[in-house]
Structure 1
Amino acid sequence: MPLEDRPLGRTGLRFSPLGLGAAALAGLYDPVDEVTAAATLQSAWEAGLRYIDTAPFYGYTRSERRVGTFLAGQPRDGLVLSTKVGRLLKPDRTVLPGSDGWADPLPFRPVFDYSRDGVMRSVEDSLQRLGGARIDLLLVHDIGRATHGPQHGRHWRALTEGGGFRALESLRTQGVVRAIGLGVNEWEVAWDALSAAPIDCVLLAGRYTLLEQDALGFLDRCATDGVGVVIGGPFNSGLLAGQAKYNYGSVPAEAKQHADALAAVCAEHDVPLPAAALQFPLAHPAVVSVLAGMRSPEQVQANVAWMRRPIPGALWHALRDRGLTHAGAPLPAEPWPSAVRGEPT
C-alpha cells in the first residue's frame, strides 16, 4: 500500500496514512532516552511519515518538548502536527515514576480544565514546549465517561457552556490552528461532539480496529458529515502486535481468543497480523490516517514495512466470512466512494 497523503475535508491539511504517535517516546510504561527518541523521530521523517501527534499529558510534557526540539531543525511544509487540550500541567516535585503509566514523568501534575481559559492557557503552554512550532490540529483530550466517570457532566459543561469549544473555534478562525476536534478512547462522546461544535476531525483510539468495529456507525456518520477520523491504537495497546496488553491493561480472555483467530487467518495467507491491523482501518472512507506509537527506529521501520505489505483480497474476505470482522465494515479489497474528506466527485 503506497503512503499517499489523504486530505482532511476542506481544511487544506493532508495526512500521511501512517502517523507517529509520540506517547511512547515520552516513556509510556518503559523509559526512552533522548538519543533514541530523536533517532525515532528522524527515522519516521526519513520514511515519509508527515503526521505527528503529541499531548501535554504524555510524559507530563516530555513528549511535546521532544517533538518541539526535533521539529526545530525540520521544514514544516507538508507536516501535520497535532496536540491536545483538556489538561493543564502544574509544577509538582512530588510526582513519582510510574504516575499514569509514565516511566519517568517530568515534575508536573495534570489538572483537568476544559473551559475557555483552560483551553487558551493550554495552547499557550504547548506552543512554548513545541518551540513555537505551528499546531495544525488541536484536539480535546480524553473528554468522556471512560475517563471521568460521574464527573463527565461537569467537564462536558465546561467544554460546551464554559466556552471550551468556542475557544477552539476562535483559535481556528484566528489561524492559530487549522483544524479542531477530539482525541478520545470512546466514540459515544465524539458522537455528541458532532452536534455540539463544528469539528473537523476525531482521533479515535482503539475503537475501530481489526479487533473491534463497534464504532462503525460513528465512522459512517463522520463520512457523511465530512469529518475526518484518525485511528489511534490500531494494535489495541499492543495485542495485535504480539504484546500482552489491551486498552492499556491486561487482556480479557475473549479479546485474546479473537486476536488468536485473526492471527490464524493471517497466517493462512502468509500475512503478518500487524500488517493487516494497520491497513484495515484505512478502508473506511472517513479515515485519513492510522496513528501508531513508536519508541525506536526499528519500530518505525517495522510499521512502515507492515503498512506497505501487499495483502491479498482473499484475506479480508476470509476474515469477514468467518465472522471475525463486522459484516458492514469496508474492506481494503473493495472500492469506496470518492465523495468524502472533501474530495471532488
Structure 2
Amino acid sequence: MNKFPSRPLPGTGLRLSTLGLGAAALAGLYDAVDAPTAAATLRAAWDQGLRFIDTAPFYGYTRSENRVGAFLSDRCREDYVLSTKVGRLMEPDDSILPGADGWADPLPFRPVYDYSYRGVMQSFEGSLRRLGVQRIDILLVHDIGRLTHGARHELHWHALTHGGGFRALQELRDQGLVRAIGLGVNEWEIAQEAIAATPLDCVLLAGRYTLLEQGALPFLDRCARAGVGVIVGGPFNSGLLAGQAKYDYSSAPPDITARARALAAVCAEFDVPLEAAALNFPLAHPAVVSVLAGMRSPAQVLANAGWMRQPLPGEVWQALRDRGLIHPEAPLPLGGVKEGG
C-alpha cells in the first residue's frame, strides 16, 4: 500500500502523513480495547500508509504509549513520525478504578500535573522508556489552558513560562532528542499566547478547527504567516460528525447536534459521506500539516483511510458555504471556491 501524501512541518525536516493515527482510543477511551485489537489496528494503519502516530502518557494512564511502543519496536525508526506529550507525571497508584478520566481500564498510575523543567524532563524520560525509542519527533505540552485548569491555570502557566517548562523543551530540541516542540490542546486561545511567549514549531489543536466549527480561523491564519504548523485533532468533534452523540467528550447539546445534522444533509445532497468531508476540510488551510483521527479497530482504520482518499465534488463546499455552515473566509479544499485561502 502506498503511503499517504505527506506535508512538511516547517523548519523541522519532518514530514507528516496527511492522515495520522491518534492513539487515545487504543488505550480504552470510554470503552476497553484489548491488546490484540490494538495491535491489529496499528498494523492496519501502517498497511494503509499512515506514518504519523500521536500518543501521550495520559492515554490509558500509560497504556497507549506501551502499546504504540510495542508495535513500533520492529519498525525502522526513520519510517514514521512519533509525537507524545508532557505536562502530567504518572505516579504509581493501585487504587485507580475503571472509568477514571474516561479510561475504561486504566493502568495503575495517577496523573499529576507538572509543567516545570523537572516535570517536563521526567515525563520525557518516562515516555522514552515506554515507547522504546531514543528520541521523540514531536513533543507537545498537554492540556495547558484556562478551560482545562480553571483557577489553577496561572500556576501551571507560570511553571511552563517561568519554571523552566518551555526551557526544557528547547533544550531537548537543541540536543536533537526532539525534532519539534509545541502544544497539544483543545483551546486555541492559549496556543496563541504560547507562540507569542516562546518559539514553537507546531500546535496540535483538537476540535477547534473542523467542519463543525471554525472559530480558530484567525489563529490558524496567524500560524500560517508565522510558519507554525497546525495538526488538527478531533476532526469528528469527539464523534459527533461520525454518527455519535458526543461533543467535546460529553453529550452534544441540541444546537450543536442540529448543526451537525444540517452539515450531513448538505453532504447527502452530493452523495458525500459527512465523515469524508470532515476529514478533508481542515487540510485546505495552508497552516494544517496533518489531521489526526482516533481509531480503535482495523475497520475504523479502513473507513478513515477510504474517506480521506475519496474525491469530493467542489460543489459540496460551495453549498456548505452558501448555507452559512462554513466560515466565509475559511479556505476550501480543491474544487471549491477561494481555493487555499
1:127 paired with 2:131, answer no
Residues 140 and 182 in structure 1, CA contact (< 8 A), matched pair in contact too: yes
User: Which residue of 1 is the match for residue 154 of structure 2?
Assistant: 153
Q: Secondary structure at the match of 2:247?
A: coil
For residues 123-150 of structure 1, what are the alpha-carbon distances to aligned partners after superposition, in whole Å with 9 as ceiling and x for unaligned? 0000010012531000000000111011
- Answer with 155-164 or 124-133: which moved more: 124-133
Structure 1 distance, partners of 2:23, 2:218, is 28
1:55 paired with 2:56, answer yes
Q: CA deviation at 1:258?
A: 0.3
Q: CA deviation at 1:336?
A: 2.6
Q: Secondary structure at the match of 1:136?
A: strand
User: Which residue of 2 is the match for residue 41 of structure 1?
Assistant: 42
Structure 2 distance, partners of 1:133, 1:45, is 21
State the AA in 1 paired with 2:40.
A
For residues 126-185 of structure 1, what are the alpha-carbon distances to aligned partners after superposition, in whole Å with 9 as ceiling and x for unaligned? 001001253100000000011101110000000000010000000000000000000000
State how 1:113-262 maps to structure 2 within 5 Å.
Answer: 113-132=114-133, 134-262=135-263
Structure 1 consecutive aligned stretches of length 4 or more whose deviation exceeds 3 Å:
none
Residues 207 and 238 in structure 2, CA contact (< 8 A), matched pair in contact too: yes
Residues 71 and 133 in structure 1, CA contact (< 8 A), matched pair in contact too: no
Unaligned runs of 5+ in 2: none
Structure 2 distance, partners of 1:227, 1:218, is 10
Structure 2 distance, partners of 1:104, 1:175, is 35
- Answer with 265-274 or 72-81: which moved more: 72-81
Residues 144 and 186 in structure 1, CA contact (< 8 A), matched pair in contact too: yes
Identity of aligned residues (%): 72
State the AA in 2 paired with 1:81.
L
User: Which residue of 1 is the match for residue 339 of structure 2?
Assistant: 335
Q: Secondary structure at the match of 2:292?
A: strand
Q: CA deviation at 1:3?
A: 3.0
User: Which residue of 2 is the match for residue 85 of structure 1?
Assistant: 86
Unaligned runs of 5+ in 1: 338-345
Structure 2 distance, partners of 1:30, 1:180, is 31
User: Which residue of 1 is the match for residue 9 of structure 2?
Assistant: 8
Residues 72 and 133 in structure 1, CA contact (< 8 A), matched pair in contact too: no
CA RMSD of aligned residues (A): 0.9
State the AA in 2 paired with 1:336.
G
TM-score (normalised: structure 2): 0.97
State how 1:313-332 maps to structure 2 within 5 Å.
Answer: 313-332=314-333
User: Which residue of 2 is the match for residue 341 of structure 1?
Assistant: none
